[in-house]
Amino acid sequence: MIQILVTGGNGQLAQCLKSLSENYKNYQFTFFSREDFNIVNEEEVKRVLKSKNFSFCINCAAFTNVDNCELNNEAPDLVNNKGVKYLATACKENNVKLVHVSTDFVFDGNQSIPYKETDKTNPLGVYGTTKLLGEEAVQNTCDAFYILRTSWLYSEFGNNFLKTMLRLSETRPELGVVFDQVGTPTYAKDLASIILTIIKEDNDAFGIYHYSNEGVASWYDFAIAIFSLKNINTKVLPIRSEQYPTPATRPSYSVFDKQKIKDVFNVTLPHWRTSLEACLQNV
Ligand SMILES: NC(=O)c1ccc[n+]([C@@H]2O[C@H](COP(=O)([O-])OP(=O)(O)OC[C@H]3O[C@@H](n4cnc5c(N)ncnc54)[C@H](OP(=O)(O)O)[C@@H]3O)[C@@H](O)[C@H]2O)c1
């Protein structure tokens, strides 16, 4: 059995991995919640990575509340940077390949063509900054790593934009949603699936990869699609970001160029609308 360690086991990506992992009979997955395995505890990281003959570690643990990151720099830095460094170090010491997940928020959004892996990073806030430091920690510490940058994750699990829209629609006849931030919604189950493909291929094509669903949307477009597919009558009003002020500034454009992952792993990626329909079957 190939042993796989998954951190952040209660998060939406880890739960998607859990639901797909049942089809992977030759692999034994160990999912750790934050209570069982806190990645900011260096000794615990060393002990857990040594405890079994893991071949892969999938790091789904992160401080993901982008606005809270602006209110408290220390906690996100511990999880998204220092904890990742501890994991990368322990992975290297124990010969474990690390699959680490990062974000479109490492970019400033000033580009108007899809971002490639080689494009210049320039995070706008604490979340993106700490996630970028985490990427650098991985790259500077171990050789056997896959960093998957992804964007606008949603699923039937956890808290996300899709769930928020469905909840608000129960009480609100109309909602303002920003139209001047453009990216690609990504079903976390599709990301989980590509992670499992990478592990199955095990081709040592280490490096950074961009992964999202296909297509382009604003949050406004995404909300409209959710309500139309669910036959919800809540009216969606297009608003500008300045009309919905938040502690964190978000990139206005964060569409990914995904050619590298398609070429290296020979995969086709579903369009965001197709995946939204699939997810809504499970919500
Ligand atoms: N969500 C998005 O829109 C988005 C977009 C781009 C990239 N990403 C990246 O995708 C990855 C997965 O995100 P997600 O949406 O699945 O996030 P999520 O649902 O917030 O899950 C993150 C998990 O990490 C756990 N965690 C936090 N601190 C920890 C620590 N010190 N030790 C161990 N576990 C810890 C959390 O535990 P608790 O459950 O106890 O809080 C939570 O279960 C993250 O790397 C994130 O940065 C997310």
Q: Please, what are the averages of pLDDT over each run of 10 residues along the chain (283 residues)?
A: 97 98 94 98 98 98 98 96 98 98 98 98 98 98 97 97 98 98 98 98 97 98 98 98 96 98 98 98 95
- Gap from CA of 61 to ligand 1 centroid (Å): 5
Q: Which atom of ligand 1 is nearest to the CA of 157?
A: 19
- Gap from CA of 56 to ligand 1 centroid (Å): 18
Predicted confidence at residue 277, as pLDDT, reads 98
Residues 165-189 as b/e (b if ≥16 CB within 10 A, e otherwise) read bbeebeeeeebbbbbbbbbbbbbbb
- Gap from CA of 9 to ligand 1 centroid (Å): 9
Task: Give the start-end residues of each E strand in 97-196.
Answer: 97-103, 145-150, 153-154, 174-178, 182-183, 186-187
Give the residue whose CA is nearest to atom 40 of ligand 1. 34
Give the residue whose CA is nearest to atom 7 of ligand 1. 103
Question: CB–CB of 58/32 below 8 Å?
Answer: no
3-state helix, strand, coil in the chain (%, to 5): 40, 20, 40
Q: By percentage, how much of the chain surpasses pLDDT 90?
A: 98
Using most ligand atoms within 8 A of CB, pick from 6, 13, 42, 272 the residue to mutate for ligand 1: 13
In the chain, what are the domains? 2-159+186-214+255-270 (3.40.50.720)
Predicted confidence at residue 166, as pLDDT, reads 98
Give the residue whose CA is nearest to atom 4 of ligand 1. 153
Q: Give the phi and the psi of residue 147 in degrees, each rounded to 5.
A: -105, 120
Just list the catalytic residues. 127
Q: Which tokens go with 279?
A: 């997810």
Q: Which tokens go with 22?
A: 């049942």
- Gap from CA of 27 to ligand 1 centroid (Å): 23
Q: Give the phi and the psi of residue 246 in degrees, each rounded to 5.
A: -130, 155
pLDDT tens, 90-102?
A: 999 999 999 999 9
C-alpha–C-alpha distance, residues 54 and 56, integer Å: 6
- Gap from CA of 73 to ligand 1 centroid (Å): 16
Residues having CB closer than 6 A to ligand 1 are: 7-8, 10-13, 34, 38-40, 60-64, 79, 83, 101, 103, 131, 150-153, 158
Give the residue whose CA is nearest to atom 45 of ligand 1. 101
Q: Which of 63, 90, 57 is nearest to 77 (CA)?
A: 63
Q: Which tokens go with 119?
A: 């494009």
